[in-house]
Amino acid sequence: MDLMAHSSTFLLPTISGDHRPSLTYVLVLLNQRLPRTAQLRLCADGGANRVYDEMPLLFPHEDALDVRHRYKPDVIKGDMDSIRTEVLDFYTSLGTKVVDESHDQDTTDLHKCISYIRDFTPNLDKSNLCILVAGALGGRFDHEAGNINVLYRFSTMRIILISDDCLIYLLPRTHYHEIYIQSSVEGPNCGLIPIGMPSASTTTTGLQWDLTNMEMTFGGLISTSNIVKGEKVTVQSSSDLLWTISIKKT
Protein backbone atom coordinates (compact mmCIF):
# COMPACT_ATOMS: atom_id res chain seq x y z
CA MET A 1 0.00 0.00 0.00
CA ASP A 2 1.38 3.41 -0.99
CA LEU A 3 2.23 5.98 1.68
CA MET A 4 0.42 9.33 1.69
CA ALA A 5 1.93 12.04 3.93
CA HIS A 6 0.02 15.03 5.27
CA SER A 7 1.13 18.23 7.02
CA SER A 8 -0.59 21.53 7.79
CA THR A 9 2.50 23.66 7.25
CA PHE A 10 0.33 26.09 5.27
CA LEU A 11 -1.06 27.23 8.65
CA LEU A 12 2.37 28.38 9.85
CA PRO A 13 3.14 32.11 9.58
CA THR A 14 6.49 31.29 7.96
CA ILE A 15 7.95 28.04 6.64
CA SER A 16 11.67 27.38 6.89
CA GLY A 17 13.51 26.08 3.85
CA ASP A 18 14.08 22.70 5.49
CA HIS A 19 10.36 22.17 6.01
CA ARG A 20 8.98 23.87 2.90
CA PRO A 21 6.50 21.48 1.25
CA SER A 22 6.80 20.50 -2.39
CA LEU A 23 3.08 21.09 -2.92
CA THR A 24 1.46 23.53 -5.32
CA TYR A 25 -1.29 25.39 -3.47
CA VAL A 26 -4.60 26.63 -4.84
CA LEU A 27 -6.88 28.75 -2.67
CA VAL A 28 -10.68 28.60 -3.09
CA LEU A 29 -12.85 31.06 -1.14
CA LEU A 30 -16.51 30.26 -0.53
CA ASN A 31 -19.25 32.61 0.62
CA GLN A 32 -18.55 32.45 4.35
CA ARG A 33 -16.48 34.70 6.59
CA LEU A 34 -12.80 34.46 5.76
CA PRO A 35 -10.95 32.30 8.30
CA ARG A 36 -1.67 32.31 2.61
CA THR A 37 0.51 32.02 -0.67
CA ALA A 38 -1.19 30.24 -3.58
CA GLN A 39 -0.38 29.70 -7.25
CA LEU A 40 -4.05 30.17 -8.12
CA ARG A 41 -6.83 31.98 -6.24
CA LEU A 42 -10.45 31.21 -7.04
CA CYS A 43 -13.60 32.69 -5.56
CA ALA A 44 -16.77 30.65 -5.67
CA ASP A 45 -19.46 33.18 -6.57
CA GLY A 46 -20.19 35.15 -3.37
CA GLY A 47 -16.74 34.39 -2.02
CA ALA A 48 -15.65 37.42 -4.06
CA ASN A 49 -17.87 39.58 -1.84
CA ARG A 50 -15.91 38.33 1.17
CA VAL A 51 -12.56 39.19 -0.38
CA TYR A 52 -13.81 42.63 -1.43
CA ASP A 53 -15.35 43.44 1.96
CA GLU A 54 -12.99 41.76 4.41
CA MET A 55 -9.46 41.94 2.99
CA PRO A 56 -9.22 45.70 3.73
CA LEU A 57 -10.17 44.96 7.35
CA LEU A 58 -6.95 42.94 7.70
CA PHE A 59 -4.94 46.04 6.72
CA PRO A 60 -6.74 48.86 8.56
CA HIS A 61 -3.88 51.33 8.10
CA GLU A 62 -3.76 50.94 4.32
CA ASP A 63 -6.00 52.34 1.63
CA ALA A 64 -8.84 49.91 0.99
CA LEU A 65 -8.62 50.29 -2.79
CA ASP A 66 -4.90 49.49 -2.76
CA VAL A 67 -5.58 46.34 -0.71
CA ARG A 68 -8.33 45.24 -3.11
CA HIS A 69 -6.04 45.69 -6.09
CA ARG A 70 -3.29 43.69 -4.39
CA TYR A 71 -5.47 40.80 -3.26
CA LYS A 72 -7.68 40.04 -6.23
CA PRO A 73 -8.93 36.61 -7.30
CA ASP A 74 -7.61 35.07 -10.50
CA VAL A 75 -10.97 33.43 -11.24
CA ILE A 76 -14.58 33.86 -10.07
CA LYS A 77 -16.70 30.82 -10.84
CA GLY A 78 -20.20 29.71 -9.93
CA ASP A 79 -23.85 30.27 -10.67
CA MET A 80 -23.48 34.02 -9.98
CA ASP A 81 -26.52 34.29 -7.73
CA SER A 82 -24.63 35.71 -4.73
CA ILE A 83 -21.91 38.03 -6.02
CA ARG A 84 -22.83 41.73 -5.93
CA THR A 85 -22.83 43.61 -9.23
CA GLU A 86 -20.33 46.23 -8.08
CA VAL A 87 -17.94 43.50 -6.88
CA LEU A 88 -18.21 41.61 -10.17
CA ASP A 89 -17.62 44.80 -12.16
CA PHE A 90 -14.63 45.78 -9.99
CA TYR A 91 -12.77 42.49 -10.38
CA THR A 92 -13.68 42.19 -14.07
CA SER A 93 -12.04 45.59 -14.62
CA LEU A 94 -8.85 44.23 -12.99
CA GLY A 95 -8.71 41.26 -15.38
CA THR A 96 -10.18 38.56 -13.17
CA LYS A 97 -11.61 35.73 -15.27
CA VAL A 98 -15.32 35.17 -14.70
CA VAL A 99 -16.87 31.77 -15.46
CA ASP A 100 -20.68 31.89 -15.27
CA GLU A 101 -22.22 28.44 -14.79
CA SER A 102 -25.71 29.50 -13.84
CA HIS A 103 -27.01 26.88 -16.28
CA ASP A 104 -25.68 24.11 -13.98
CA GLN A 105 -27.88 23.75 -10.89
CA ASP A 106 -26.89 20.12 -10.20
CA THR A 107 -23.48 20.87 -8.60
CA THR A 108 -22.32 23.21 -5.85
CA ASP A 109 -20.08 26.22 -6.41
CA LEU A 110 -17.20 24.33 -4.76
CA HIS A 111 -17.72 21.40 -7.13
CA LYS A 112 -17.61 23.83 -10.08
CA CYS A 113 -14.34 25.34 -8.80
CA ILE A 114 -12.64 21.98 -8.27
CA SER A 115 -13.71 20.86 -11.75
CA TYR A 116 -12.21 24.04 -13.18
CA ILE A 117 -8.91 23.47 -11.36
CA ARG A 118 -8.76 19.88 -12.59
CA ASP A 119 -9.79 20.46 -16.21
CA PHE A 120 -8.93 24.03 -17.22
CA THR A 121 -5.61 24.98 -15.60
CA PRO A 122 -2.98 23.48 -17.94
CA ASN A 123 -0.19 25.67 -16.53
CA LEU A 124 -0.74 24.42 -12.98
CA ASP A 125 1.44 21.59 -11.68
CA LYS A 126 -1.11 18.90 -10.80
CA SER A 127 1.42 16.30 -9.57
CA ASN A 128 1.63 17.80 -6.06
CA LEU A 129 -1.50 19.93 -5.99
CA CYS A 130 -3.15 20.89 -2.70
CA ILE A 131 -6.42 22.83 -2.77
CA LEU A 132 -7.17 24.91 0.34
CA VAL A 133 -10.86 25.78 0.69
CA ALA A 134 -11.71 28.62 3.07
CA GLY A 135 -15.30 29.21 4.11
CA ALA A 136 -16.43 25.61 3.52
CA LEU A 137 -17.45 25.01 7.14
CA GLY A 138 -19.87 26.89 9.36
CA GLY A 139 -23.25 28.27 8.40
CA ARG A 140 -25.94 25.97 7.02
CA PHE A 141 -25.37 22.27 7.61
CA ASP A 142 -26.61 21.28 4.13
CA HIS A 143 -23.90 23.50 2.64
CA GLU A 144 -21.31 21.82 4.86
CA ALA A 145 -22.54 18.39 3.81
CA GLY A 146 -22.35 19.41 0.15
CA ASN A 147 -18.76 20.58 0.60
CA ILE A 148 -17.78 17.36 2.38
CA ASN A 149 -19.38 15.43 -0.48
CA VAL A 150 -16.96 17.22 -2.85
CA LEU A 151 -14.07 15.55 -1.00
CA TYR A 152 -15.55 12.19 -1.99
CA ARG A 153 -16.43 13.25 -5.54
CA PHE A 154 -12.78 14.26 -6.10
CA SER A 155 -11.15 11.66 -3.86
CA THR A 156 -7.97 11.47 -5.95
CA MET A 157 -7.28 15.17 -5.36
CA ARG A 158 -5.81 16.63 -2.17
CA ILE A 159 -8.47 19.05 -0.87
CA ILE A 160 -8.52 20.62 2.61
CA LEU A 161 -11.59 22.36 4.03
CA ILE A 162 -10.65 25.09 6.52
CA SER A 163 -12.58 27.13 9.07
CA ASP A 164 -11.56 29.31 12.01
CA ASP A 165 -11.90 26.28 14.28
CA CYS A 166 -10.75 23.20 12.39
CA LEU A 167 -9.70 21.63 9.11
CA ILE A 168 -11.01 18.52 7.37
CA TYR A 169 -9.65 16.31 4.61
CA LEU A 170 -10.19 12.85 3.20
CA LEU A 171 -7.94 9.88 3.94
CA PRO A 172 -8.49 7.52 0.97
CA ARG A 173 -8.54 3.84 1.82
CA THR A 174 -6.08 3.21 -1.02
CA HIS A 175 -3.20 4.62 1.06
CA TYR A 176 -1.45 4.27 4.39
CA HIS A 177 -1.42 7.72 5.96
CA GLU A 178 1.17 9.60 7.99
CA ILE A 179 -0.12 12.89 9.40
CA TYR A 180 2.55 15.27 10.69
CA ILE A 181 1.12 17.50 13.40
CA GLN A 182 2.02 21.19 13.49
CA SER A 183 1.42 21.51 17.22
CA SER A 184 2.00 25.27 17.33
CA VAL A 185 -1.08 25.90 15.18
CA GLU A 186 -3.27 22.77 15.34
CA GLY A 187 -4.56 20.18 17.77
CA PRO A 188 -4.85 18.55 20.13
CA ASN A 189 -8.51 17.72 19.46
CA CYS A 190 -9.11 15.51 16.44
CA GLY A 191 -11.40 12.91 14.92
CA LEU A 192 -11.65 10.12 12.35
CA ILE A 193 -15.11 9.79 10.83
CA PRO A 194 -16.41 7.15 8.38
CA ILE A 195 -18.84 9.04 6.13
CA GLY A 196 -20.25 7.25 3.10
CA MET A 197 -19.73 3.70 4.31
CA PRO A 198 -18.68 1.91 7.51
CA SER A 199 -15.06 1.03 8.14
CA ALA A 200 -14.67 -2.67 8.86
CA SER A 201 -11.15 -2.14 10.19
CA THR A 202 -9.20 0.97 11.20
CA THR A 203 -5.82 1.04 12.93
CA THR A 204 -4.07 4.18 14.21
CA THR A 205 -1.01 5.26 16.16
CA GLY A 206 -0.27 8.58 17.84
CA LEU A 207 -3.72 9.19 19.37
CA GLN A 208 -4.83 9.30 22.98
CA TRP A 209 -7.36 6.59 22.13
CA ASP A 210 -5.82 4.54 19.33
CA LEU A 211 -7.82 2.12 17.23
CA THR A 212 -6.63 -1.43 16.53
CA ASN A 213 -8.50 -3.20 13.74
CA MET A 214 -11.57 -1.38 15.02
CA GLU A 215 -14.90 -1.24 13.23
CA MET A 216 -16.44 2.23 12.89
CA THR A 217 -19.93 3.10 11.68
CA PHE A 218 -22.66 5.65 12.31
CA GLY A 219 -24.98 4.15 14.89
CA GLY A 220 -21.92 2.54 16.51
CA LEU A 221 -18.40 3.69 17.30
CA ILE A 222 -16.85 6.70 15.56
CA SER A 223 -13.62 8.31 16.72
CA THR A 224 -14.67 11.85 17.68
CA SER A 225 -13.20 13.98 20.49
CA ASN A 226 -9.88 12.16 20.23
CA ILE A 227 -6.52 13.81 21.05
CA VAL A 228 -3.18 13.77 19.24
CA LYS A 229 -0.31 12.77 21.53
CA GLY A 230 2.80 13.63 19.51
CA GLU A 231 4.15 14.88 16.20
CA LYS A 232 2.86 12.07 13.98
CA VAL A 233 -0.38 10.16 13.59
CA THR A 234 -0.70 7.10 11.34
CA VAL A 235 -3.97 5.77 9.90
CA GLN A 236 -4.84 2.70 7.88
CA SER A 237 -8.46 1.85 7.14
CA SER A 238 -10.60 -0.39 4.96
CA SER A 239 -12.74 2.60 3.95
CA ASP A 240 -12.29 6.29 3.25
CA LEU A 241 -12.23 8.38 6.42
CA LEU A 242 -12.51 12.07 7.21
CA TRP A 243 -9.67 13.44 9.32
CA THR A 244 -10.40 16.56 11.31
CA ILE A 245 -8.20 18.48 13.74
CA SER A 246 -8.75 21.69 15.70
CA ILE A 247 -6.96 24.92 14.76
CA LYS A 248 -5.50 26.98 17.58
CA LYS A 249 -6.61 30.57 17.98
CA THR A 250 -3.89 33.18 17.45
Q: Is the backbone peptide bond immediately before 188 cis, with ω within 30 degrees of 0?
A: yes
The Cα 5–Cα 179 span in angstroms is 6
What is the residue-level pLDDT of the chain in tens, covering all 250 positions? 889 999 888 887 765 555 445 677 888 877 655 444 457 888 888 889 989 998 899 899 999 999 999 989 989 988 888 899 999 999 999 999 999 888 877 888 889 889 988 887 777 777 788 999 988 888 889 989 999 999 999 999 999 999 889 999 999 999 999 999 999 999 999 999 999 899 999 999 999 999 999 999 999 999 999 999 999 999 999 999 999 999 998 6
DSSP β-bridge partners for residue 242: 170, 193
Q: Say what the pTM is.
A: 0.83
Contact 137, 162 (CB under 8 A): yes
The pair phi, psi for residue 69, each rounded to 5°, is -70, -35
